[in-house]
Amino acid sequence: MHISQKATSHSTQAAGIRVANCEQSACVAYFAALGIADGLALEPQSGATHCKMSGAWMQVYAPDCDTLSLHEHAHNLQQEILWSMLVSPHLFEFNNLEALSSAVRVRENIVLDARKTALAFKTDAAERPSEFWRYEEEAGFILQAGTGLIKALVSATQPEATGKLYDFSCYRATEYVILLGLAQEAAVHNAPLFEQLQTLNEKYAIRSGQFHDVFLHEYGSLEAPLPARFYVPGDRIWFRNPDAHSSDVTGYEGSWVIYVGSGLFSNFWKRDQPFTLQSKCLEIFHWRDGVQTNAAGELWMDEAIVDACVQDTLHKPDKLQNILQQMMRIRDAKGIYADGGCLDATREYPKQIDPSACELSLPKI
C-alpha cells in the first residue's frame, strides 16, 4: 500500500551531488564503475561538477524522490546509496571524489553494522560488556585500558561477538552504530582521526545532543520537509509518537532508526524483522493501545497487546488505510499533538572524514 504526499512527481526535483575539484570525465568514470551511467545528468559549475539523475529517469525509478524501491534495480549497496543521493532534493556537497567515496563507504558501514545489531530494550537500564567498557558518572561508558574502539563497539552491539544482548535505548544504539561506521572508515583511510576517536573514548563518551553536533549533519526542516518516501541508506531517522498519552511512557516518545536500504528500517530488538515504512507507522500507532498502569501508578507498554493490534489491523484493509493516512503525515512541532503523523521532516547523516575534507572537530577532554 502506497500512501503518498500531496506533492506530485514533477514538483520535487533532484538537487543531487556537487563535487568540487573534479573534472566531468572523472565523475563519469567514478559513477560508471559503480553501474551508474544511464540517466546520469552532469553539469560543469565553476570548478565543480553537479551530478544528478535526470527527470525522465526519476519518473520511472524514483518519482517524487521515492528511494524505497531503488534496491530492486541496484546491483549493490553502494549503487543504491549513490542513486539515493543523486535523486535527493537536498544538495550533497563534496570537496573532491575521494571525499564522496569516503562518505559512501561510511554509509555502507553504518548499514551493514545496523543490520547486524541486536540489543535488549530496557528503558531504565544500560549495560555494556565489562571486558571492553566501564561506566563513570560524568564520562559515561568509556573504554577499558588497552581496548580497541572498533572491537568494543562490535562487542556491545553484535551478539555474535559475546553471545549476549546488551541493554540500550534506541537513541544510544544509533550512536554506537554510527560511531562504529565512522571508526571503521577512519581506521583504514584516516589513521590520525581514528587515534583521536580512540583516545577520546578512553576518557569520555560523546552522547545525545553533543553527538548530533559533533558527528552529524541534519537536512530538511518542518518548513521545508523532505519527501515522505525519501531516505538514503545510512541516514538516521526519528519516527515520532503522535499520541500524547502513550508518548508519556519512557522510551515510547518515538523511535530512532537507521535506514538500512532495501526499503527497510533497523529493528534492533528483533533484528530478523526490520521495519518497512508501513509496519513502522503501524507499530507506533498501536502504542496507544498497549499503554498499561502498574500498581505504583506508573505507565508501561505491553508489547504483546501492540503486536496483537498490529496483526488485527493488517487483516482489515479499510482500517489499515485510515491509520496510514493519519500516520504518514509530517509530525507536529515539539510539544504539539494535533493533526501531525509520525514522519519527521528531517534526516541525519555523518559528517565527512576523508583527510582532504574532514569536517569533524572533536572536543578536547
Assigned domain for 11 exists: no
Say if residue 296 is in the same domain as residue 334.
yes
Nearest residue to 93 (alpha-carbon basis) of 217, 194, 213: 217
Say if residue 213 is in the same domain as residue 122.
yes
Out of 94, 119, 151, a domain closes at: 94
Phi/psi of residue 105, nearest 5 degrees: -65, -40
Say if residue 115 is in the same domain as residue 135.
yes
- What is the β-pairing status of strands 92-94 and 17-20? parallel
Residue span of the structural domain in which 59 resides: 17-94
Say if residue 207 is in the same domain as residue 269.
no
Say if residue 61 is in the same domain as residue 140.
no
Number of domains in the chain: 3
Say if residue 244 is in the same domain as residue 337.
yes
Say if residue 167 is in the same domain as residue 147.
yes
Q: What pLDDT shows up at residue 127? A: 87
Say if residue 283 is in the same domain as residue 241.
yes
Q: What stretches of the chain adopt beta strand conformation (E)?
A: 17-20, 40-45, 48-53, 92-94, 120-121, 133-136, 140-143, 167-168, 216-219, 236-240, 254-258, 291-293, 299-301, 347-350
Q: What pLDDT shows up at residue 364? A: 86
Q: What pLDDT shows up at residue 5? A: 38
Say if residue 339 is in the same domain as residue 241.
yes
Say if residue 284 is in the same domain as residue 204.
no
Assigned domain for 352 exists: no
Assigned domain for 1 exists: no
Secondary structure (3-state) at 39: coil
Q: Which residues contact 143 (CB under 8 A, 6 or more apart)?
A: 132, 133, 149, 152, 198, 201, 202
Say if residue 244 is in the same domain as residue 319.
yes
Question: How confident is the prediction along the chain (365 residues), in pLDDT tens digits per residue?
Answer: 444 333 333 357 899 999 999 999 999 999 999 999 999 999 998 889 999 999 999 999 999 999 999 999 999 999 999 999 999 999 999 999 999 999 999 999 999 999 999 998 765 667 899 999 999 999 999 999 999 999 999 999 999 999 999 998 889 999 999 999 999 999 999 999 999 999 999 999 999 999 999 999 999 999 999 999 999 999 999 999 999 999 999 989 999 999 999 999 999 999 999 999 999 999 999 999 999 999 999 999 999 999 999 999 999 999 999 999 999 999 999 999 999 999 999 999 999 999 999 999 999 87
Q: How many residues does the chain have?
A: 365
Residue carrying C-alpha cell 576518557? 203
- What is the β-pairing status of strands 48-53 and 17-20? antiparallel
For the segment 5-36, what is each residue's pLDDT rounded down to a tens digit? 333 333 578 999 999 999 999 999 999 999 99
Assigned domain for 45 exists: yes
Out of 39, 74, 94, a domain closes at: 94
